[in-house]
Amino acid sequence: MEVSAQTSDIEQISNWRDEVIATRESIRSMRSQLEQLARHKTDDESLAQIEHFQNQFICQEEKADELRHDLKQSSKKISNNGQPAILHDDRPVDDYDVMYDRMNTFRKLYNELQDEFEKFRSFS
């Protein structure tokens, strides 16, 4: 029974990792779209918004990289029957529930950023 739970957790973590990778690609696409918009916008308000999104994309990509790494470590820990992987005090990877919460927070922040960027694009 325990092996089945481990396998299920590993599969879920793998799905999360795939989602994080896809999200990172989506952020790259939005960054490219932003670069196109920046070529045509010269007013101060638009430039401030462009800078805001550039910063947000960088932050979100950094979080995606951290999360992808930590999901990999979490999967390794589960695969090694609980043997320690590389753990970070500020980013625990040894607790499935913590990773679940981090993934939900990551999704929420990404969705908010995506919605905000879509609104900006539609007014540009």
Instruction: Determine if the pTM surpasses 0.85.
Output: no
Instruction: Report pLDDT digits (tens) over 42-75.
Output: 899 999 999 999 999 999 999 999 999 999 888 8
Q: CA 21 to CA 65: how far, in whole Å?
A: 9
Element (DSSP H or E) covering residue 76: helix 44-79
Strand, helix or coil for residue 81: coil
Domain edges within the chain: 2-123
Instruction: Report pLDDT digits (tens) over 113-124.
Output: 999 999 999 986
Element (DSSP H or E) covering residue 5: helix 2-38
Comparing C-alpha atoms, which of 64, 60, 67 is closest to residue 30? 60
